[in-house]
Protein backbone atom coordinates (compact mmCIF):
# COMPACT_ATOMS: atom_id res chain seq x y z
CA UNK A 1 0.00 0.00 0.00
CA UNK A 2 0.99 3.65 0.06
CA UNK A 3 4.10 4.57 2.01
CA UNK A 4 2.46 7.73 3.31
CA UNK A 5 0.44 6.90 6.45
CA UNK A 6 -1.73 10.01 6.17
CA UNK A 7 -2.49 9.34 2.53
CA UNK A 8 -6.04 8.92 1.27
CA UNK A 9 -6.01 5.32 0.03
CA UNK A 10 -8.70 6.18 -2.45
CA UNK A 11 -8.54 9.30 -4.55
CA UNK A 12 -12.09 10.62 -4.27
CA UNK A 13 -11.06 13.93 -2.76
CA UNK A 14 -8.82 14.50 -5.77
CA UNK A 15 -11.33 13.56 -8.46
CA UNK A 16 -12.87 17.02 -8.80
CA UNK A 17 -9.49 18.61 -9.38
CA UNK A 18 -8.50 15.68 -11.63
CA UNK A 19 -11.52 16.28 -13.88
CA UNK A 20 -10.63 19.97 -14.09
CA UNK A 21 -7.00 19.05 -14.82
CA UNK A 22 -5.95 21.08 -11.78
CA UNK A 23 -3.65 18.52 -10.12
CA UNK A 24 0.11 18.31 -10.04
CA UNK A 25 1.45 15.91 -12.68
CA UNK A 26 2.45 13.48 -9.94
CA UNK A 27 -1.07 13.47 -8.47
CA UNK A 28 -2.64 13.14 -11.91
CA UNK A 29 -0.57 9.99 -12.45
CA UNK A 30 -1.56 8.62 -9.06
CA UNK A 31 -5.28 9.22 -9.69
CA UNK A 32 -5.11 7.75 -13.21
CA UNK A 33 -3.35 4.65 -11.92
CA UNK A 34 -5.82 4.26 -9.05
CA UNK A 35 -8.84 4.60 -11.34
CA UNK A 36 -7.58 1.72 -13.46
CA UNK A 37 -7.70 -0.61 -10.47
CA UNK A 38 -10.61 0.73 -8.41
CA UNK A 39 -14.19 0.34 -9.69
CA UNK A 40 -15.63 2.46 -6.89
CA UNK A 41 -13.49 5.50 -7.63
CA UNK A 42 -13.85 4.97 -11.39
CA UNK A 43 -17.63 5.21 -10.99
CA UNK A 44 -17.33 8.40 -8.95
CA UNK A 45 -14.97 9.78 -11.57
CA UNK A 46 -17.52 9.18 -14.35
CA UNK A 47 -20.18 10.98 -12.31
CA UNK A 48 -17.93 13.93 -11.61
CA UNK A 49 -16.82 14.10 -15.25
CA UNK A 50 -20.42 14.02 -16.48
CA UNK A 51 -21.48 16.73 -14.03
CA UNK A 52 -18.53 18.81 -15.14
CA UNK A 53 -19.41 18.30 -18.82
CA UNK A 54 -23.02 19.32 -18.14
CA UNK A 55 -21.84 22.47 -16.39
CA UNK A 56 -19.64 23.28 -19.35
CA UNK A 57 -22.61 22.84 -21.69
CA UNK A 58 -24.77 25.10 -19.56
CA UNK A 59 -22.08 27.75 -19.56
CA UNK A 60 -21.69 27.49 -23.32
CA UNK A 61 -25.46 27.92 -23.75
CA UNK A 62 -25.44 30.92 -21.43
CA UNK A 63 -22.75 32.53 -23.52
CA UNK A 64 -24.74 32.05 -26.70
CA UNK A 65 -27.77 33.93 -25.36
What gap in Å lies between CA 52 and CA 47, rounded to an integer? 8
CA distance 38 to 40: 6
Is residue 10 a contact residue for Zn ion (CB under 5 A)?
yes
Q: How far is the CB of 23 from Zn ion (least distance, A)?
A: 16
| Span 39-58, contacts to Zn ion by CB under 5 A | 41
Identity of the residue, 4 or 62, whose beta carbon is nearer to Zn ion in the bound complex: 4
Whether 42 contacts 48, CB under 8 Å: no
Q: Which is nearer to Zn ion, 38 or 48 (CB)?
A: 38
Q: Is 38 in the site for Zn ion (CB under 5 A)?
A: yes
Amino acid sequence: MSADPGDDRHVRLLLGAYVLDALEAEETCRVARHLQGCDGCARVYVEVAEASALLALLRAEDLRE
